[in-house]
Structure 1
Amino acid sequence: MNDLGETPEQRALHRHLEDRYWLRLRGRFSKEKLILALAAPVLAIVAALVLSSLVIAASGKDPLHAFSVMIDFGSKSDSQVWIVNKAIPYYLSAAAVAIGFRMKLFNIGVDGQYRVAAFFAAAVGGALALPGAIQIPIIILTAMAVGAVWAGIAGVLKTTRGVSEVITTIMLNSIAGSLIGYFLSEDKLAVKDGNLFHTTNLPDSSHFFTIPTDPKPIYGTIVIAIAVGLAYWFVLGRTRFGFDLRAVGRSEPAAAASGVSVKRMVVTSMLLSGAVAGLVGMPTLLNVSYNYGTDFPAGIGFTGIAIALLGRNHPIGMALAALLWGFLERTGIRLEFEDYAQEIVEVMQGIIVLCVVIAYETVRRYGLRVQQRKVGEELSARAAGTNDKPEVSA
């Protein structure tokens, strides 16, 4: 008997009924399944709209007019292209963060990883003059390798010295900035252009293709984001490695007992997260700036954390979250011209993330209570030896 007074037979029956409930709930269409699937996003949307309206109203402005301006401006063709291009690095950053999140690793260092990766990739690309079919893969692989090594440092320190990856990755962000600052000078790997320093410009063969759209093109690096999303879905959801990774995230002792090397999974996950993080700077490097300078965008790594949370670590969810983030940033520019406070959009972004996290957790706990109640009812019916058994499935 265990601490609950259950015999081995009772524990086995309990596990059987619990598994049976979830298999039925996931395996076929049901009213309860539909309600649970829709409840969280609907609750999050309603809460976010209400709270955002209250914040806008508190600032002395009309929330309905603000939403109308955002929808109208965001629906314009140039805004749509801007939003898609902005969402590409956001999505890559979220995917890098989500790899760690799936096994309860908090890679806070994506910001430093993508910047140091983009810098050295730009330096290597600027020093070469090869055909594009060779030059571009070299730049991308260099970025992935540097990002993987930079994140792998945190993984090795965690498994060998027990250092929290949160502390390590935050410190590595600072070190990355200092390292870039050291090499980004005229006597090392940079050239001076006016008041700015940047690496040698990439040759024309390094310029990534674009997708012609009106009035501006969509960055061709969107194919990299799509490839990462497909790989993320397949590797984490359809392979043994992905199963082991998620098992470690759920319970390290249980995973170790089943033969999974927890330390190896930690290091491997950090390497993969860093490799994807190395791609975050590629849309800017290969489609916009063609060099790494002091004006290279920073902070995308921290935005990726919010987008990963907003998208629930799901490849499609993160894509929608990245587009939403781009939409808010784009329309926020228009709101400033309408005399709305600049901080309104930032407050709305925070409200949306909090509402999604709270809504999904609330629905998850409700579903768990429903499951426990139904399993308990069937257990009671079995123990009483009656034939009047409650239906487990909805």
Structure 2
Amino acid sequence: MSEDQVPRREEHPGDVVAQAEESPSAREQAAGQRPPSRSSQFAREILSGSWLVTVLAIVIALALSAILIAAADTRVQEAASYFFTRPGDLLSAAWDAIASAYNALFRGAIFDYRAETFTRAIRPLTETLVFSVPLVFTGLGIAVAFRAGMFNIGGQGQIILGAVAGGWVGFALDLPIVLHIILAVIAAMLGGAIYGGIAGVLKARTGANEVIVTIMLNNIAVYFIGWLLTQPAFQQGGSALPRSPYVRDTSLYGLILGEGFRLHFGFIVMIAVTALVWWLVERSTFGFELRAVGANIDAARNSGVSVNKVMILAMLIAGALSGLGGSAQVLGTEQLLTSGVAATYGFDAITVALLGRSRPWGTLAAGLLFGALKAGGFLMQSTTDTPIDIILVVQSIIVLLIAAPPLVRAIFRLPAPDRPRRRSALVAKEAAA
């Protein structure tokens, strides 16, 4: 039987992603395909982590933070000076410091059971949701880029440009209430999309490193909004501070629970957008191409996927989502433009996307967790001796451990994923078919 007469198994389109996610085979290496970039390989390693590793990383971060909380407490330091005389005092002081700190964190983020009224008791939960909105929006944008194999560090700049565009529409135009908020949100999305698209075009057309490009774009955005707030059209009359006029009431996200709470309808939009991103990435044709490019760019190109188009669209979508984060700030929480309108949400969202393993619903859950850390950190600092920097330590340790799954597995003696065995079973199954 000649070679042309040998029956060949037809490949299903979904096999492209499955094959690309495996380690390069000998056939691919013999074909001279170039290895994936470091950013693409790093994103793939993050996506391959299990939920158990993610949960254990959070547990380790809280445990290490507890040690730092105890070490920073003055009572613990005093008890440590006579530890060999009365060791129980040190243990008691350390327990009291840790328990009071985490108790304050819970009261400031979830439910303040010491509040006099139910309204004040649930206010911490609403603050958690408020802080989570820009985190989730921007985290989704970074996650979409991750799935395409690109490490988007430009969330901060994209938030700023989205806030500038949405804020200008909010205070400069006088429109009916429904039309005004819709146009302001669309303007914020366009501002972020254009800014993210710059990095996408440079990556696709010239091969520029998206990490360096987006970092530089962040710096440009910071200086741009600083200059913009010195211009008469963006200055608030009668204020010596660099701030814009307040956006009009017709352009604001409405309050969900009314006066006394800051939770706005941007939270509802966030949930709807999360569902939309999930469908786009996991169920649509573009999502298949996106995942194929992120898994193996050469396999995707050989399968007929337009890699340049996917890269550009991925960064446009990422920028638009980050721009929505800017709209949540300027049209919901802050209601005006300042040089710090983006705070540190663009950088915190990188952690959110990593913790959520670049999955839309995982990013939503991670954003709620980090929103709780932000909301509870203020009460923890004001009622205990715990510095607010402990929250940053928790976030940093989580990132470190999420980026190093083998370290978490080694700490808890978890078995490594048995990829060779699964791959051999797949090869044997295909040979039998």
Q: 1:197-276 counterparts in 2 under 5 A?
A: 197-212=242-257, 215-276=260-321
State which of 395, 402, 406 in structure 2 corresponds to 1:349.
Answer: 395
How far residue 37 of structure 1 moved from its aligned partner, in angstroms, is: 6.2
How far residue 380 of structure 1 moved from its aligned partner, in angstroms, is: 9.5
Alignment partners' CA distance in 1, 2:310 and 2:298 = 13
State which of 147, 151, 155 in structure 2 corresponds to 1:110.
Answer: 155
Is contact 2:235-2:245 (8 Å) kept? yes
TM-score with structure 2 length normalisation? 0.73
Counterpart for residue 124 of structure 1: 169
Counterpart for residue 280 of structure 1: 325
Counterpart for residue 39 of structure 1: 52
Deviation string 1:234-257 (CA, Å, 9 cap, x unpaired) is 000001100100000011110000
Alignment partners' CA distance in 1, 2:146 and 2:62 = 27
Counterpart for residue 80 of structure 1: 125
Label 1:101 to 1:361 Cα distance change in 2 as closer, same or farther (>3 A). farther
Is contact 2:163-2:341 (8 Å) kept? no
Percent same amino acid among aligned pairs? 33
Label 1:371 to 1:110 Cα distance change in 2 as closer, same or farther (>3 A). closer
Q: 1:88-167 counterparts in 2 under 5 A?
A: 88-167=133-212
Return the letter of the residue paired with 2:330: L
Is contact 1:311-1:321 (8 Å) kept? yes
Is contact 1:116-1:177 (8 Å) kept? no
Higher mean displacement: 306-315 or 216-225: 216-225
How far residue 215 of structure 1 moved from its aligned partner, in angstroms, is: 4.9
Query: For the aligned residues, what is the CA RMSD?
Result: 3.2
Is contact 1:43-1:359 (8 Å) kept? no
Label 1:379 to 1:43 Cα distance change in 2 as closer, same or farther (>3 A). same
How far residue 203 of structure 1 moved from its aligned partner, in angstroms, is: 2.3
Deviation string 1:166-194 (CA, Å, 9 cap, x unpaired) is 11111111112222223222434333442
Label 1:116 to 1:374 Cα distance change in 2 as closer, same or farther (>3 A). closer
Secondary structure at 2:387's aligned position in 1?
Answer: coil
Structure 2 unaligned runs (5+)? 1-6, 22-48, 77-93, 113-121
Is contact 1:310-1:357 (8 Å) kept? no
Alignment partners' CA distance in 2, 1:295 and 1:193 = 20
Secondary structure at 1:290's aligned position in 2?
Answer: coil
Alignment partners' CA distance in 1, 2:131 and 2:425 = 51
State which of 399, 408, 421 in structure 2 corresponds to 1:373.
Answer: 421
Is contact 2:255-2:265 (8 Å) kept? yes
Return the letter of the residue paired with 1:185: T
Is contact 2:188-2:324 (8 Å) kept? yes
Structure 1 unaligned runs (5+)? 1-7, 23-35, 384-394
Higher mean displacement: 348-357 or 279-288: 348-357
Is contact 1:108-1:170 (8 Å) kept? yes
How far residue 331 of structure 1 moved from its aligned partner, in angstroms, is: 2.1
Alignment partners' CA distance in 1, 2:141 and 2:414 = 30
